[in-house]
Structure 1
Amino acid sequence: MGQLIIDFSNWIWGWPLLYLLLGGGTLLFLYSGLIPFRGFGHAMKVVGGKYDDPNAKGDITSFQALSSAIAATVGLGNISGVALAIGTGGPGAIFWMWVSAFVGMATKYFTCTLAIMYRGKDSSGHIQGGPMYVIEEGMGKKWRFLSVIFCVAGIMGLLAIFQANQLTDVIRVVLLKPFGLDHGTTTRWILGVSMMLLVATVILGGIQRIAAVASKLVPFMVTLYFISVLVILFRFGDEILPSFWFILEDAFTGKAVLGGSIGAVIITGARRAAFSNEAGIGTAPMVHGASKNEEPVREGLIAMLGPFIDTIVVCTLTAMTIMVTGVWETGEKDGVLMTLSAFQSGIPVVGKYFLMAAVLVFALSTMFTYSYYGHKCFNYLFGADKANYYNYFYLLTIVGGAVVSLKVVMSFVDGMYAVMAFPTMISAIYLSPKVRAATKDYFRRMKEKNTL
């Protein structure tokens, strides 16, 4: 069964999906008039709360929406995902993660603008947003099968199994093994149950509690991680430029790991970028669709900051840490353990504890937000009165994620992400003229009011 999951993931993440995410994203990037660049400054003003309307429809503020989305993306994808990209695709994969991020900013702009533009209502009459509602409300009932595909894949793929797996590994290596307290599978089960109970205290409180916790955790976890990484980069300052140039060289040769297969390097970079910032997958539109914002374009501008923060900033810092310390050539290749080697090398004695603290916050914040995504998919398919049952299923899978192997977990999540991308990107491209028209109208109005 495990091998079937791995084979399916490798098959679906071939060139067709790469064309859809990178090709479709590039199309949206150009069609938007380079919105990631020309709208960046205004987006920063918007996310600061200058235009917030507390009386607007929705459940959370735009800043809370961004914080919740970043809590799901700025997570273990930035620590383990980057290490996996370098371990399997070589340093050159990082360059293609950067390319995917800028393209992804445009993709998120379109998908999250649409999430406000075409909000729907669930069976209880509550306003909801996300690709499934965009498809049904914007494209029509005849396209509803795409919504169903998205939600089925979302229920299965938006589980916290990867986070549970990697957090378990770090706790075992850093805290338990040095003191002879690691007892293999038994320890994994104990840690899995502990994580399940901790996550339950937050997610059973709904999106308001999730957003409140995420808006406090995200600044803390990013600051902690930044400081640790900057200390390492300062110590290995002479290696920064050579490492950067090696990333650029390897991006077009693929010689570091994959024997000159440039295509494989591109696929690896795009695949890990998609897992890291989720642009084009359709998760962020679900939480941005719950924002108290009546301006679709404004929400899209806020959302597009996500891939920049996640991939251009955080993933790059992780990549440079792994590169300058040289552990990508000699260290552990298994996800978070490679990054752990870099922290141990860069900050002897205490580095591993810094990373463990960051991993703990990264993993838990992601676990909180993912539950909301899956909950919304379940709500769409089975009704609001049954949606809470999903939370119990979600919590049980955390235990399973702590026990199974990393390769199977990663392949399963990758496979479901790929399935989700098809409905999301099809709807974004199909409805892109609506977003373009709304963009022109919005900036015209802002210019007339002199509020840009």
Structure 2
Amino acid sequence: MDYLTEINEALSGVVWGAPMLVLLLGTGLYLSVRTGFLQITRFGYMMRNTLGRIFKKQKADDGSVTPFQALTTALAATAGTGNIAGVTTALTIGGPGAIFWMWVSGFIGMMTKYVEIVLAIRYRERNDKGEYVGGPMYYIKNGLGKGVNWLGVLFCLFGSLAALGVGNAVQVGNMTSSIKAALFHFAPGTAQLEDLIGLIIGLVTAVLVGLTLFGGFKRIGRVTEAVVPFAAVLYIVATLAVIFANMGEVGAAFGQIFRLAFAPQAALGGAAGVGAREAIRWGVRRGVFTNEAGLGSAPIAHAGTSEKSPVMQGLYGICEVFIDTIVMCTLTALTLLVSGIALPYGTTGTVDLNIAAFATVLGMDASSLLLCASMTLFALATVLGWALYGMRCFEYIFGTGRLKLYQAVYVLVTVLGATTDLEMIWSVGDTLNGLMAVPNLIALLLLSGVAVEITKKHFRHTDLREPKMGKAKGKERPLRLR
């Protein structure tokens, strides 16, 4: 096992080294420039046509889901425990400056995800069940040609394995830890039954996940549509309670984030390795883990929508990253920084820190229950979202007929996630995430011209249809695409 750990650490150092960070940030910046920084120039248009349409009835065709269900399925995979445990890890290992680099990766990642989704809708297909299927493997095959289909196969290989790890076992493990923490707080005597409790949690989770998975994509969409908004609102309200109770510390918290984003080594009281380099590395790394921009995972969910316009569905991708990184990750970070708890910089932070931060305002009882509920809902939603990604990747390589084999393995892994040590699984999953990104980013760069042309045509038509938006009403800037 030590030998495998050393191999993974060496591979992870390469995958998440400077070249990958440059590729991720560079691709996002390049796509932002080519689309005229759409995330800024059309922000109002995006909000009106995504969150502004939540309460409008949306219909899905056979074999598809509504645009909002596609969003919540993708958000289920992104706005999961990474928004809580992932941000805490980035903050303690990379320091407050890591949050700044999370914002940077999120801001330019908005356009990476937008282009991913535009291409996913443009090049999607129908599978044997009549469902829409799409994602990097399909825009590689149909956009770049079958001669480079091996890139799509590599993406699917890494994606199907990553789904079992960071998408499943890690999420269930974090959920199990939060449930145990709450249970041990209210009933300390149950601590001696820790292993049995983990097994029970794993088995119950396996049953719930199995019942949902075997109901197909539409059932996953219906479940995430119900769970994700509720979990997000619950968590956001709780974080705001802590932040408003410590408003006097908010300015200092932002000051730390900006100042330490470029700080030299040991700027945090001598904490080993906490400086600008680690801030950038962990900020981008956990930023990608939370919003998945560049990984190529989210377009798999968005490809299943009944929406016919690539651009209109692509706007949901911008919205997705905004909610996940700019809103939820920031709230988590501020809660930790303003609460006054001692943060163990230079170490891997755990959910116990989040509970302690909430407890400063809400009390330990309420905080334990709150984190337990939030982590459970987010984890279950994430497991379902990543299940779809894993199944689509497996289906692309082995066909629809063998899909039940992958579903069975996926359900079994939920039990392992609740009963085994997650450090190695998390580490390998991080590496697989990086490996997923490589073929996807190559395809995005080569097919960026297609996405730009589709975007240009859409907004040329839209601007002609909306002449009534005059200067007094705040006309949005015209889009300049290159």
| Aligned match of 1:413 | 429
Contact 1:90 1:258 in 2 (8 A): no
Q: What secondary structure sits across from 2:416 in the alignment?
A: helix
Shift of 1:230: 1.1
Match of 2:216 among 206, 218, 221: 206
| Aligned match of 2:5 | 3
| Aligned match of 1:280 | 294
| Aligned match of 1:175 | 183
Residues 2-401 of structure 1 aligned to structure 2 (within 5 Å):
3-4=5-6, 5-47=8-50, 48-49=52-53, 54=59, 59-122=64-127, 126-159=131-164, 160-176=168-184, 178-179=186-187, 180-182=189-191, 183-253=193-263, 255-256=267-268, 257-259=271-273, 261-329=275-343, 333-349=348-364, 350-401=366-417
Shift of 1:327: 2.9
Q: Distance in 2 between matches of 1:77 and 1:58?
A: 30
Shift of 1:328: 5.0
| Aligned match of 1:441 | 457
Shift of 1:233: 1.0
Shift of 1:311: 0.4
Structure 1 residues 94 and 209, CA gap change in structure 2 (3 angstroms): same
Q: Distance in 2 between matches of 1:155 and 1:260?
A: 33
Contact 2:169 2:422 in 1 (8 A): no
Contact 1:236 1:325 in 2 (8 A): yes
Contact 2:131 2:304 in 1 (8 A): no
Shift of 1:243: 0.9
Q: Distance in 1 between matches of 2:206 and 2:386?
A: 13
Q: Which runs of 4+ in 1 moved over 3 A?
A: 4-7, 48-58, 121-127, 257-261, 330-334
Q: What secondary structure sits across from 1:341 in the alignment?
A: helix
Q: What secondary structure sits across from 1:67 in the alignment?
A: helix
Aligned residues: 452
Shift of 1:54: 4.3
Q: Distance in 2 between matches of 1:142 and 1:212?
A: 37
Q: What secondary structure sits across from 1:85 in the alignment?
A: helix
Letter in 2 for 1:414: D
Structure 1 residues 375 and 260, CA gap change in structure 2 (3 angstroms): closer
Shift of 1:422: 0.6
Shift of 1:271: 0.3
Contact 2:185 2:368 in 1 (8 A): no
Q: What secondary structure sits across from 1:387 in the alignment?
A: helix
Give CA-to-partner distance per residue, 1:119-174, whole Å, 9 cap, x none.
Answer: 13445664311110010000000111111111011111012111111111111111
Q: What secondary structure sits across from 1:194 in the alignment?
A: helix
Contact 2:120 2:134 in 1 (8 A): yes
Q: Distance in 1 between matches of 2:344 and 2:433?
A: 31
Stretches of structure 2 that go unaligned for 5 or more consecutive residues are 470-482
Q: Distance in 2 between matches of 1:94 and 1:384?
A: 41
Give CA-to-partner distance per residue, 1:62-87, whole Å, 9 cap, x none.
Answer: 11111111111111000000000011
Give CA-to-partner distance per residue, 1:360-410, whole Å, 9 cap, x none.
Answer: 111111111111110101110110111122111111111112223232122
| Aligned match of 2:472 | none
**Length-normalised TM-score, structure 2:** 0.89
Shift of 1:11: 3.1
Q: Distance in 2 between matches of 1:445 and 1:330?
A: 54
Contact 1:13 1:271 in 2 (8 A): yes
Q: Distance in 1 between matches of 2:243 and 2:65?
A: 37
Q: Distance in 1 between matches of 2:128 and 2:147?
A: 19
Contact 1:56 1:294 in 2 (8 A): no
Shift of 1:53: 7.8
Give CA-to-partner distance per residue, 1:66-116, whole Å, 9 cap, x none.
Answer: 111111111100000000001111111000000000011010011100000
Structure 1 residues 86 and 328, CA gap change in structure 2 (3 angstroms): farther
**Length-normalised TM-score, structure 1:** 0.95
Q: Distance in 1 between matches of 2:35 and 2:41?
A: 10
Shift of 1:177: 5.3
| Aligned match of 2:473 | none
Q: Distance in 1 between matches of 2:95 and 2:294?
A: 24
Q: Distance in 2 between matches of 1:10 and 1:337?
A: 28
Q: Distance in 1 between matches of 2:108 and 2:28?
A: 5
Contact 1:85 1:94 in 2 (8 A): yes
Contact 1:120 1:137 in 2 (8 A): no
**Which stretch of structure 1 is more off in the superposition, 306-315 or 245-254?**
245-254
Contact 2:94 2:274 in 1 (8 A): no
Q: Distance in 2 between matches of 1:76 and 1:401?
A: 14
Once superposed, what is the RMSD of the aligned Cα atoms?
A: 2.1
Q: What secondary structure sits across from 2:306 in the alignment?
A: coil
Letter in 2 for 1:400: L
Contact 1:122 1:379 in 2 (8 A): no
Q: Percent identity of the aligned residues?
A: 37
Contact 1:65 1:287 in 2 (8 A): yes
Q: What secondary structure sits across from 2:49 in the alignment?
A: helix
Structure 1 residues 58 and 29, CA gap change in structure 2 (3 angstroms): farther
Q: Distance in 2 between matches of 1:270 and 1:359?
A: 23
